[in-house]
Amino acid sequence: MTQRVSDRLPDFPWDSLTEHAATARAHPDGIVDLSIGTPVDPTPAVVQEALAAAADAPGYPQTIGLPETRQAALGWMARRLGVTGLGLEHVLPTIGSKELVATLPSQLGLGPGDLVVHPEVAYPTYAVGAALCGARAVASDSLTALGPETPALLWINSPANPSGRMLPVDHLRKVVDWCRERGVLLVSDECYIEMAWEADAPPVSVLHPDVCGGSREGILAVHSLSKRSNLAGYRCAFVAGDADVVAELLAVRKNLGLIMPAPQQRAMVAALDDDAHVTAQHATYAARRALLREALVQAGFRIDHSEGALYLWATRDGTDCWSLVSWFAERGILVAPGAFYGPAGRHHVRVALTATDERVAAAVARLAGYR
């Protein structure tokens, strides 16, 4: 019998948190779920209105997306990220970013014998995408450690999930040069690029001229509206970069029927054109972050990296992450074990900022008892 595709994939990580979630729910004041970075604040009114206005959509949308949607993405990248010189042929809407991350190696024709490299502490879906097509995944933060082996695809992620680490311009430029010298496709996951907290400089896109020299050759950047605009339920994202690679993805996605619904495309335009809601949401997360960070430090935790993204990367005296998960669960707080993100995360837990002000206050009060 042919091996089932699911047999090549790891178990879904969050299924292993079931017992700890039950413990946390048993707390007299209920659970504070800081394990998953799913937005809890309202979708901006301007986006809801755009979705409603586009609700009459009887025909099939085009896979390439509306020109207005792609232009909004270009305008946002120029305005917010300083990425210029791109045209409509450089942008393609996707049905959320996880769909693209998980299927990108397959859509590009990778398979057995190909190597996909991702960060040592990383979003698990990078490795899932490699496993899905039969390619080999290697976790490495060192390009020299790869030796003579040349990857087909190299993932980077800044600001990073789960650690919040941000890569400086000089480092990004070196990675671009390394990939171009070897013909490696570089894909930068930039879903948290508008979420910086304490860094001296804002996050920089791999498509910024200071990084790529004004050429998009061999580079893709992945962007999502799930976190910046509270649109996780809308599944709005896009990929931008090398026009030839974008064209290849478009050709494949036409055959697969991977098309962002037309109403969501209109909502995406509204979200990308409006900066006010992003500024307000950033302030909300910054306030929650400050409270949680101080409470964790006072409870004996050390916060590593966490300069960006929606998480605090916490550790305490080298304690195993699952022991830390249990410690939090006994206090009614659910967090994600660092082992979800690779062996290098085994002494950390990821604490999400995506809980209501009331639930964050509850977590802070519970942690205060252990100062």
d(C-alpha 23, C-alpha 19), whole Å: 6
The residue to which tokens 């960070």 are assigned: 293
Q: What is the predicted pLDDT for the residue at 371?
A: 53
- Enter the pTM of the model: 0.94
Residue 259: pLDDT over 60: yes
Instruction: Using pLDDT thresholds of 50, 70 and 90, give the confidence band for residue 1.
Output: very low
Contact 86, 207 (CB under 8 A): yes
What is the average per-residue pLDDT within 3-19? Answer: 75
Q: What is the predicted pLDDT for the residue at 335?
A: 98
Residue 152: pLDDT over 80: yes
Instruction: Using pLDDT thresholds of 50, 70 and 90, give the confidence band for residue 237.
Output: very high
Q: What is the predicted pLDDT for the residue at 193?
A: 97
What is the average per-residue pLDDT within 2-14? Answer: 69
Weakest mean pLDDT among 6-10, 33-37, 191-195: 6-10
Instruction: Using pLDDT thresholds of 50, 70 and 90, give the confidence band for residue 235.
Output: very high
d(C-alpha 87, C-alpha 100), whole Å: 21
Q: What is the predicted pLDDT for the residue at 5?
A: 67
Q: What is the predicted pLDDT for the residue at 4?
A: 72
Contact 120, 344 (CB under 8 A): yes
- Looking at CATH, the fold of the domain delimited by 54-273 is given as Aspartate Aminotransferase; domain 2 (3.40.640)
Residue 7: pLDDT over 80: no
User: What does R_g of the chain's alpha carbons equal in angstroms?
Assistant: 21
What is the average per-residue pLDDT within 327-339? Answer: 97
Weakest mean pLDDT among 45-54, 154-163, 192-201, 262-271: 192-201
Contact 39, 31 (CB under 8 A): no
DSSP-derived secondary structure for 260-303: --HHHHHHHHHHHH--HHHHHHHHHHHHHHHHHHHHHHHTT-EE
**Count of CB atoms within 10 A of residue 252's CB?**
16
d(C-alpha 256, C-alpha 41), whole Å: 33
Please state the domain extents for the chain: 5-42+277-368, 54-273
d(C-alpha 96, C-alpha 237), whole Å: 5
What is the average per-residue pLDDT within 245-252? Answer: 98
Q: Is the dihedral of CA 154, 155, 158, 162 positive or negative?
A: negative
Q: What are phi and psi of 209, to 5 degrees?
A: -55, -30
What are the respective helix, strand and coil percentages of the chain, to the nearest 5?
45, 15, 40
Q: What is the predicted pLDDT for the residue at 144?
A: 86
What is the average per-residue pLDDT within 121-126? Answer: 96
Contact 268, 236 (CB under 8 A): yes
Residue 257: pLDDT over 70: yes
Instruction: Using pLDDT thresholds of 50, 70 and 90, give the confidence band for residue 32.
Output: very high
d(C-alpha 294, C-alpha 20), whole Å: 24
- At residue 248, the 3 state secondary structure works out as helix
d(C-alpha 172, C-alpha 158), whole Å: 10
What is the average per-residue pLDDT within 220-229? Answer: 97
Say what percent of the chain tops pLDDT 90: 91
Contact 265, 66 (CB under 8 A): yes
Q: What is the predicted pLDDT for the residue at 14?
A: 66
* pLDDT tens by residue, 94-120: 999 999 999 999 999 999 999 999 999
Beta bridge partners of 115: 136
Contact 69, 269 (CB under 8 A): yes
**Mean pLDDT in the chain?**
95
Decide which of 3.40.50.720, 3.90.1150.10, 3.30.70.1400, 3.40.50.300 is the CATH code for 5-42+277-368. 3.90.1150.10
Angle between helix 67-76 and helix 262-273 axes, rounded to 10 deg: 30
Residue 2: pLDDT over 70: no
Q: What is the predicted pLDDT for the residue at 245?
A: 98
